[in-house]
């Protein structure tokens, strides 16, 4: 009599059994997916850990991918012209002096005469200053690190901020060089964007770092944020004081500004890009302020504010007809001069303009947005300087272009970054910053 047996070997898992196993695995995967989405939407544990891991992974991926092709960073842009060097020079109407600027292609500062001749330069690759004892871990290669902001001194010294394109945080520190580019001192707080030097020689530098410190009533901000600080350094580069800027706003009567942070900036709520120490003349133009306080620009909430460093309180704030602004300057007439990166909406081309604003009324009293052939267009960075002769020097950063314009909008001087990259020279590096110096700025024998 034949006996009945059942075979439970793997070969027998066909048909219904195999289908049921696939359904079970698929159902489990679906539950994990739905659970993950639910956790992310509700923001409950472990959503913050998952978000931090994702953001960290994306930042690391960006850092790795930009090692090989520097043109994929925001330091290089499509060249808008084949022109190089000085292309306009109306000597009768140009403000005399030297032009100091830095370019996105390397850590070098250039000093030009009005005809575009190179008078002097300072160069110091980041790798020759950095050490593994600094807070900056695993920095990007030198091709990604450039001088973001510069200040020359009459004796030929230079103070400069390093930034690393493709890293987070991207602030890489500060260095002071002598005339021959020898290092006098370095500071490896995560300096970024801008700094200023007070009348006593103290240095006011913007820094940032990733933090997880919660702010009361600000649960809409990311748990891990890139928070901005103001570091005050001695003339020798030693840290004297640090002020948390996001905490200063949160503790002030202007705390509601933090509720206007755009959704795309919740992990970088301020994105501070300018610091200027108020002189007596500047303070006289802004009611309720005093010399020694500092003017700050918070890009992502569209605000220009004044910080009292001693009390760590925001004492004045202004929002106006600009978007993504950079480099607010208080002019001798009391008006505010500012680069409005993305606030020009009246034309199909050219997003940017330079505005002169009456801070008492927020009225526009002067503006320049380029020409029909060359509209002003720099979605990030950029700056401007009102010159003694009434002209305005403008750095159109993304265009790799410096231009000097009259009050009536005529271009009397124009310089295009001569550096190119690519098989057809199709890439141009950004100009990080530009400044006109008086002909007598440097001590005799320095140049």
| Tens of pLDDT, residues 156-166 | 999 999 999 99
**Beta-carbon neighbour count of residue 102 at 10 Å?**
25
| Six token digits for residue 115 | 């005809």
The answer to whether 159 and 148 are in contact (CB under 8 A) is no
CA–CA separation, 94 and 413 (whole Å): 7
Residue 89 lies in a domain: no
Task: Find tokens 């009456």 and name the residue.
Answer: 358
Helices (H), 256-405: 280-285
Go through 303-327 and write b for each residue having 16 or more CB atoms within 10 A of its CB, e for each that does not.
bbbbbbbeebbbbbbbebbbbbbbb
Query: Which residue, among 270, 279, 277, 136, has the nearest Cα to 195 in the 3D structure?
Result: 277
Residue 308's beta-bridge partner residues? 313
Torsion sign (Cα): 308, 261, 59, 69: negative
Angle at 281 between CA 277 and CA 284, to 5 degrees: 100
What confidence category does residue 41 fall into, taking pLDDT thresholds of 50, 70 and 90?
low
Percent of the chain with pLDDT over 90: 82
CA distance 52 to 361: 43
Residue 7, pLDDT score? 36
Could you say which DSSP state residue 127 is in?
A: G
Residue 216: both structure tokens together: 């009361």
The answer to whether residue 46 is domain-embedded is yes
Is 36 a domain residue? yes
Q: What is the pLDDT of residue 2?
A: 41
b or e along 183-222 (b: 16 or more beta carbons within 10 Å of the residue's beta carbon)?
eeebbbbbbbbbbbbbeeebbbbbbbebeeeebeebeebb
Total structural domains within the chain: 1
Cβ contact 135:176 at 8 Å: no
pLDDT, residue 4, reads: 37
Residue 34 lies in domain: 21-68
HSE, CB side, 13 Å, CA atoms: give it for residue 125: 8
Task: Read off the pLDDT of residues 227-271 as tens digits, 9 standing for 90 and up.
Answer: 999 999 999 999 999 999 999 999 999 999 999 999 999 999 999
Region 61-78: what's the mean pLDDT? 78
The answer to whether the CB of 366 falls within 8 A of the CB of 386 is no
What is the model's pLDDT at position 159?
99
pLDDT tens for each residue of 339-367: 999 999 887 778 999 999 999 888 999 99
Angle at 429 between CA 423 and CA 432, to 5 degrees: 175
Beta strand pairing status for 183-187 and 336-340? unpaired
* Mean pLDDT of all residues in 99-108: 99
Query: In the prediction, which pLDDT does 64 show?
Result: 55
- The model's pLDDT over 360-404, given as tens digits with 9 standing for 90+, comes to 888 999 999 999 899 999 999 999 999 999 999 999 999 999 999
pLDDT tens figures, 152-189: 999 999 999 999 999 999 999 999 999 999 999 999 99
Residue in 354, 376, 366 with CA at minimum distance from that of residue 407? 366
Q: What is the pLDDT of residue 57?
A: 57
Give CA–CA dist 115/123, Å, rounded: 22
301 or 52, higher pLDDT = 301
Nearest partner of 274 among 324, 202, 233, 201, judged by Cα? 324
Q: How far apart are CA 194 and CA 37, in angstroms?
A: 40
Contact 171, 153 (CB under 8 A): no
pLDDT confidence tier of residue 58, bands split at 50, 70 and 90: low
What is the pLDDT, as a whole number, of residue 50? Answer: 57
Angle at 182 between CA 176 and CA 185, to 5 degrees: 35
What is the rounded CA–CA span in Å between residue 175 and residue 158? 8
Is 201 inside a domain boundary? no
Whether residue 31 is contained in a domain is answered as yes
Can you tell me the mean pLDDT for 23-36? 68
Q: Is residue 358 part of a domain?
A: no
Confirm whether 282 is domain-assigned.
Answer: no
Residue 199 lies in a domain: no
pLDDT, one tens digit per residue, over 209-237 is 999 999 999 999 999 999 999 999 999 99
């Amino acid at each position: 009599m034949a006996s009945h047996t059942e075979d439970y070997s793997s070969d027998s898992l066909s048909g219904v059994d195999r289908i049921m196993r696939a359904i079970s695995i698929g159902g489990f995967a679906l539950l994990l997916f739905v659970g993950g989405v639910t956790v992310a939407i509700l923001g409950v544990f472990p959503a913050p850990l998952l978000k931090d891991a994702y953001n960290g992974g994306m930042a690391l991926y960006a850092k790795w991918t930009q090692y090989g092709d520097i043109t994929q960073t925001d330091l290089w842009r499509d060249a808008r012209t084949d022109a190089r060097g000085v292309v306009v020079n109306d000597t009768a109407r140009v403000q005399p002096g030297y032009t100091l600027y830095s370019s996105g292609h390397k850590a070098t500062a250039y000093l030009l005469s009005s005809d575009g001749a190179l008078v002097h330069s300072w160069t110091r690759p980041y790798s020759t200053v950095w050490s593994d004892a600094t807070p900056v871990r695993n920095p990007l290669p030198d091709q990604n690190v450039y001088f973001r902001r510069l200040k020359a001194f009459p004796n030929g010294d230079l103070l400069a901020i390093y930034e690393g394109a493709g890293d987070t945080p991207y602030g890489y520190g500060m260095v002071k060089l002598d005339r021959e580019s020898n290092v006098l001192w370095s500071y490896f707080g995560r300096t970024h964007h801008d700094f200023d030097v007070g009348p006593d020689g103290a240095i006011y530098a913007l820094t940032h770092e990733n933090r997880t410190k919660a702010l009361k009533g600000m649960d809409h901000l990311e748990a891990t944020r890139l928070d901005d600080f103001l570091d005050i350094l001695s003339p020798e580069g030693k840290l004297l004081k640090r002020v948390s800027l996001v905490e200063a706003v949160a503790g002030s009567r202007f705390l509601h500004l933090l509720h206007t942070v755009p959704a795309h900036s919740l992990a970088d709520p301020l994105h501070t890009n300018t610091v200027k120490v108020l002189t007596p003349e500047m303070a006289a133009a802004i009611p309720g302020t005093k010399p020694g306080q500092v003017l700050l620009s918070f890009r992502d909430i569209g605000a220009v504010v004044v910080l009292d460093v001693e009390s760590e309180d925001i004492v004045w704030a202004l929002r106006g007809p600009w978007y993504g602004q950079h480099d607010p300057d208080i002019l001798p007439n009391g008006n505010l001069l500012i680069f409005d990166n993305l606030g020009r909406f009246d034309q199909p081309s050219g997003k940017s303009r330079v505005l002169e604003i009456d801070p008492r009324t927020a009225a526009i009293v002067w503006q320049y947005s380029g020409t029909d052939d060359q509209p002003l267009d720099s979605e990030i960075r950029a700056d401007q300087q009102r010159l003694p002769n009434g002209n305005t020097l403008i750095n159109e950063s993304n265009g790799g272009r410096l231009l000097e314009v009259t009050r009536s909008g005529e271009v009397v001087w124009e310089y295009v970054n001569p550096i190119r990259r690519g098989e057809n020279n199709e890439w141009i590096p950004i100009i990080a910053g530009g400044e006109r110096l008086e002909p007598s700025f440097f001590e005799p024998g320095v140049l």
